Each structure stands twice: as C-alpha cells, then as structure tokens.
C-alpha cells in the first residue's frame, strides 16, 4: 500500500484498522492487541477530520501506554505506524527531561523537535514537486559557467560593441552541444567553480543553560537581515555542482510560508510523540522529595503538554490538543499505578505487550521483509558468499535466544542480534580475505548442528551475557 498512486484523502479513507494491522504484520510479529489499538487510534484521527467543526475540537486522541519488556516491538510499532500514515513522528526518552527550574531539557522541547521534523518533512516533499524545474534551472546555471554569456566588448576610447547575430548563433549552437553532453553525463568529471553560501556563525547561541532554539528563537534568522550574506567560490565536479545547484534552486522555488502552514497543521492534527522509558519517571510518590530533580515533577510538567496546551516554537504557536502521545515502558521495577493519577488519566488506553516465545523468534527470523537472516545474507553476498539457513538451524537459533533470555536478561528480539553476530563472527571477519569454512560453491549453510557447536559452550557458561546489546 503506497501513498504515491493515491491522493492523501483517498489513501487515508482506505487505511482501515484492519489494513493498518496487515501492514504492521509485514514487519512486526505478534502483538495483535497493540496493533489493533494503534490501528483504531489512527482511524479515529481520520474520522475526527470528517466530523463537523463544533464537535471536532472536542474529540481527543486515543493516547495509550504500551507495557511490556524490552525488545517486543513497542518502538517499532510506533515508528512503522508513523511511516505508514506519513505523519510527523519523534521518539523521546522520558528520563532525559527535567522539571522546570533545573538544567536540562524541558518537556516542551519535544513539541519543538516534532515541529522541526514536520517542517523538514514537508519541505522535502515540496522540493520533490519542483525537482524537474529545479534541475532545469541548475542545468542552465552550469551551462552559464561552462559557456559564459557574450559580454559587451570594450574598446579603449570607444563605445562598447554589441555581439553580432553570428556570434549569438555560434554561442547558442555551442550551448546546445554542451547541453546534450551534460544530459548524457560526458561532462560529469569536468571541474568548475561554483559560488556556495558561507556558513555564518551567530554572535550568541546560548543564554545560560538553555539554548535559544529551546526558547523557540532562531538567532540566525534574527541577524540574517543585518549581517551581509557571504559566499565563497568552491571547485567541484559538474556532477556535484548539478546536485548542489538543483537543491539550491529547489529551495528558492519552495514557498516556505506554505510549508510552515502545512507542517504546523500536520503536527497539530496528525503528529505522533512516542515517549519511551516512561516507567523511569514513575515511582512511589514523595520518594524523591528534596533538592534533587523529582520524577513526579517531570510527570507534572508532562500533564499540560499531553492534555493540550500551546507551545511557542520558532514557526509559531503549536497546539498539542490533538497530538497522539504513545508512551511505553517495561515497568519491571515500578508499575503503571505508580504514575501520578493525573498522568494516568491522560493515557486512558493501556496495552499489555506479550513476551516473545520460541515460535515468535522463528517467525521474526523468517517472515518480515527486513528479517535479520535476510540482512546477514545481503551483507555476505557483497563478498560473494551465499548464506542459507536450514529450518533446523532457524529453530536452534530461536531456541538458543529463548534460553539465553531466560538465563541472563530478557531483551526480547534484540537477543537475535547477539546470537547471529556471534554465530557468523568468523565468516564476517574472514570473508574479505578468504572464503573460510565455505563449501566449493561459495555457500555457507547454517544448520542446527552448526548453531549448537558454535554456541553450546557459551550458553552453558552463560558467557553470552557479555554480548548484550
């Protein structure tokens, strides 16, 4: 399912909760309940846009908390969801924020970061729309550098002469010949000099511990009209110059006012903030009382952002009322009820994530489009080695991952990175120099016996704990 062949409105109409679940199934194994909840949450956002205006503002997003051990797919679900619906999305760690009055990031910065990302995303989309025109203008500028325009000829003590028609015709003919060469790439390696913008250093970047960007101010823009814009000549190949000038021309063609307007609309109506490690700021109330940064203080600072407030950014005020907040945490030390009641109320939906089983690991290794087995096969293919996994090899890897998770620390699917990295260590190391332990046709076959022989002693001694990622 792609957005390119449909209008955004048609695409969102067809993006039913069931379709969202099917799309997430391509990358994430299991977690049906979580996928169902996020599918409903996204569909409700589209439904809200169809509701008449007086009631539309009253419909709040389905904020939720995903509860489960690390490595079961909490972050991946949110990331894939945002990519699917082409929404502005950021992932933040709750433990990085401090309450007001302490040095560190304040919670409003997550909204500014989301807005910045949205502007960048919309600007890139608009640049694609004007790409053809930008490339044409870049081509003309390169031709001007290769064949300078006919200048008025100066004579000492005489008036300047205009180029005659013959000179014009010769120049136009030469220009067209160079244009054809430029199109087919014959001039790509030729070196030319291009004027590029020189970076200007702002006089002041920081006021105390909080940067001006955090305050929603752009000092570069404030001084942009005062300080003269500088440029410098830089030598580059025609191929490099073409890409640079096309990007520069696209920047001129894009209407930044329209970009900012659309970006703010996306943030306020379809933006997604994924707050990870929210369990790290949960704890018995009053336990952190004193001069230190309070976990409860961070929670209270989050309240107005999640409930709905206006945050000042350098692009204007952003209302957070309809931003979808998805929080996640393992809650292996604390529990959701340790969050202050007000914050619990801001996340009315709770989803318990399932721990991964051996069968889940087998599916993770074989079904997704980006499965680890396919990734390692592609990596070794660059060295001319074909990597193949037998069914019993896959099952033994899954069994080993499950056993180690139970013995050492349950890090979910991330354990598969550990297992495969150790299993294929020798091949990855020796492949560039010689084909080691490979049969005659350049193939590595991972069997159950190979997995047991390579990892059995490590698992028994629990040394695999050293390889926790």
Nearest to 328 by CA among 41, 72, 116: 72
Q: Which one-letter DSSP state was computed for residue 97? A: B
User: 463 and 410: one domain?
Assistant: yes
Residue 71 placed within a domain? yes
pLDDT more than 70, % of the chain? 78
What's the confidence (pLDDT) of residue 459? 67
Where is mean pLDDT largest: 208-212, 322-326, 426-430?
A: 322-326
Residue 262 placed within a domain? no
C-alpha span between 258 and 265 (Å, rounded): 11
pLDDT confidence bin for 164, thresholds 50/70/90:
low
User: 221 and 114: one domain?
Assistant: no
User: 26 and 114: one domain?
Assistant: yes
Strand extents, DSSP E, 180-337: 191-197, 206-207, 210-211, 231-237, 272-276, 310-313, 316-319, 324-329
Residue 464 predicted with pLDDT over 70: no
pLDDT confidence bin for 469, thresholds 50/70/90:
very low
Q: Contact, 395 vs 362, CB < 8 A? A: yes
Nearest to 268 by CA among 8, 56, 80, 55: 56
Q: What is the Cα 33 distance to its own chain's centre?
A: 25
C-alpha span between 432 and 417 (Å, rounded): 21
Residue 172 predicted with pLDDT over 70: yes
Helical spans, DSSP H, in 282-441: 295-307, 341-346, 358-366, 372-381, 391-407, 414-423, 425-430
User: 90 and 187: one domain?
Assistant: no
The pLDDT tens digits for 394-433 are 999 999 888 888 877 778 888 888 889 888 888 888 887 7
pLDDT more than 90, % of the chain? 16
Residue 158 placed within a domain? no
Residue 446 placed within a domain? yes
Please tell me the total count of domains within the chain.
Answer: 3
pLDDT (average), residues 236-258: 88
Q: Which of 130-139, 193-202, 244-253 has the lowest mean pLDDT?
A: 193-202
Q: Which of 138-147, 360-369, 455-464 has the lowest mean pLDDT?
A: 455-464
Residue 194 predicted with pLDDT over 90: no
Nearest to 333 by CA among 278, 292, 294, 288: 278
Nearest to 21 by CA among 106, 98, 70, 80: 80
The pLDDT tens digits for 279-302 are 888 876 555 444 445 678 888 888
Q: Which one-letter DSSP state was computed for residue 150? A: P
Residue 259 placed within a domain? no
pLDDT (average), residues 372-389: 90
C-alpha span between 279 and 170 (Å, rounded): 74
What's the confidence (pLDDT) of residue 112? 93
Residue 278 predicted with pLDDT over 50: yes
User: 168 and 271: one domain?
Assistant: no
Position with higher pLDDT, 438 vs 144: 144
User: 41 and 105: one domain?
Assistant: yes
pLDDT confidence bin for 74, thresholds 50/70/90:
confident
Residue 301 placed within a domain? yes
Domain termination residue (choose one: 294, 317, 352): 352
pLDDT (average), residues 125-140: 89
Whether the model pTM is above 0.85? no
Domain termination residue (choose one: 352, 384, 412): 352
User: 290 and 216: one domain?
Assistant: no
The pLDDT tens digits for 13-47 are 778 889 999 989 888 888 889 999 998 998 888 88
pLDDT confidence bin for 258, thresholds 50/70/90:
very high
- Crossing angle of the two packed helices 256-270 and 109-129, in degrees rounded to 10: 130
Residue 246 predicted with pLDDT over 80: yes
C-alpha span between 466 and 146 (Å, rounded): 59
pLDDT (average), residues 317-327: 92
Percent of the chain as helix, strand, coil, to the nearest 5: 50, 15, 35
Check which CATH number belongs to the domain holding 443 and give it. Answer: 1.10.8.60
What's the confidence (pLDDT) of residue 224? 53
Report long-range pairs for 179-184 (Cβ below 8 Å, ≥24 apart). 179/139, 179/143, 182/139, 182/142, 182/143, 182/238, 182/242
**Burial of 466 per CB tally in 10 Å (0-12, 13-18, 19+):** exposed
Position with higher pLDDT, 164 vs 193: 193
Cα distances (angstroms) measured from residue 36 to each of 18, 19, 386: 8, 10, 38
User: 34 and 108: one domain?
Assistant: yes
User: 189 and 296: one domain?
Assistant: no
Rg (CA), the chain: 29
Position with higher pLDDT, 147 vs 322: 322
pLDDT (average), residues 357-382: 89
Helical spans, DSSP H, in 102-158: 109-129, 131-146
pLDDT confidence bin for 73, thresholds 50/70/90:
confident
User: 17 and 84: one domain?
Assistant: yes
C-alpha span between 425 and 419 (Å, rounded): 10
User: 405 and 348: one domain?
Assistant: no
Residue 258 placed within a domain? no
Check which CATH number belongs to the domain holding 113 and give it. Answer: 3.40.50.300
158-161 and 153-155 as β-strands: parallel, antiparallel, unpaired?
antiparallel
Could you tell me if residue 384 is left (phi over 0), alpha (psi between -120 and 50 degrees) or otherwise beta?
left
Q: Which one-letter DSSP state was computed for residue 151? A: P
What's the confidence (pLDDT) of residue 284? 63
What's the confidence (pLDDT) of residue 391? 92
89-93 and 349-352 as β-strands: parallel, antiparallel, unpaired?
unpaired
What's the confidence (pLDDT) of residue 436? 45
Chain mean pLDDT for the chain: 79
User: 72 and 39: one domain?
Assistant: yes
Q: Contact, 373 vs 389, CB < 8 A? A: yes
Residue 265 predicted with pLDDT over 70: yes
Q: Which of 112-121, 183-192, 246-255, 430-439 has the lowest mean pLDDT?
A: 430-439
C-alpha span between 384 and 381 (Å, rounded): 5
Residue 49 placed within a domain? yes
C-alpha span between 368 and 28 (Å, rounded): 7
- Domain span at residue 178 reads 131-152+164-253
Domain termination residue (choose one: 352, 367, 386): 352
């Amino acid at each position: 399912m792609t957005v390119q062949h449909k209008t955004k409105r048609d695409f969102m109409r067809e993006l039913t909760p069931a379709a969202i679940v099917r799309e997430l199934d391509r990358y994430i194994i299991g977690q049906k309940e979580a996928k169902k909840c996020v599918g409903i949450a996204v569909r409700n956002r589209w439904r809200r846009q169809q509701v008449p205006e007086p009631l539309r503002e009253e419909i709040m997003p389905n904020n939720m908390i995903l509860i489960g051990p690390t490595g079961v797919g909490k972050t991946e679900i949110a990331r894939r969801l945002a990519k699917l619906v082409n929404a502005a999305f950021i992932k933040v760690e709750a433990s990085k924020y401090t309450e007001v009055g302490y040095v560190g990031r304040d919670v409003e910065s997550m909204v500014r970061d989301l807005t910045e990302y949205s502007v960048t995303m919309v600007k890139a989309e608009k640049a694609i729309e004007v790409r053809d025109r930008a490339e044409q203008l870049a081509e003309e500028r390169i031709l001007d550098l290769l064949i300078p325009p006919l200048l008025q000829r100066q004579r000492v003590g005489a008036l300047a002469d205009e180029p005659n028609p013959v000179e014009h015709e010769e120049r136009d003919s030469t220009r067209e010949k160079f244009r054809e060469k430029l199109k087919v790439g014959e001039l790509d390696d030729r070196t030319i000099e291009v004027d590029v913008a020189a970076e200007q250093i702002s006089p002041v970047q920081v006021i105390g511990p909080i940067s001006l960007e955090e305050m929603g101010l752009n000092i570069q823009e404030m001084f942009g009209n005062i300080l003269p814009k500088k440029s410098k000549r830089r030598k580059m190949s025609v191929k490099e110059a073409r890409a640079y000038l096309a990007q520069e021309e696209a920047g001129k063609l894009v209407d930044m006012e329209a970009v900012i307007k659309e970006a703010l609309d996306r943030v306020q109506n379809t933006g997604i903030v994924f707050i990870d490690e929210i369990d790290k700021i949960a704890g018995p109330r009053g336990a952190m009382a004193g001069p230190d940064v309070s976990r409860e203080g961070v929670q209270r600072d989050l309240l107005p952002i999640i409930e709905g407030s206006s945050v000042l950014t350098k692009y204007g005020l952003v209302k957070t009322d309809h931003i979808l907040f998805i929080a996640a945490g393992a809650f292996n030390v604390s529990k959701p009820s340790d969050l202050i009641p007000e914050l619990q109320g801001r996340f009315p939906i709770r989803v318990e994530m399932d721990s991964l089983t051996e069968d889940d690991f087998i599916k993770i290794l074989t079904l997704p489009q980006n499965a680890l087995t396919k990734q390692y096969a592609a990596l070794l293919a660059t060295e001319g080695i074909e990597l193949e996994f037998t069914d019993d090899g896959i099952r033994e890897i899954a069994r080993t991952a499950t056993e180690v998770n139970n013995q050492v620390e349950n890090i979910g699917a991330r354990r598969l990175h550990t297992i495969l990295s150790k299993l294929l260590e020798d091949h990855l190391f020796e492949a560039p120099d010689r084909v080691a332990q490979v049969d005659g046709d350049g193939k590595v076959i991972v069997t159950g016996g190979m997995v047991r022989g390579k990892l059995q002693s490590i698992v028994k001694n629990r040394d695999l704990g050293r390889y926790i990622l």
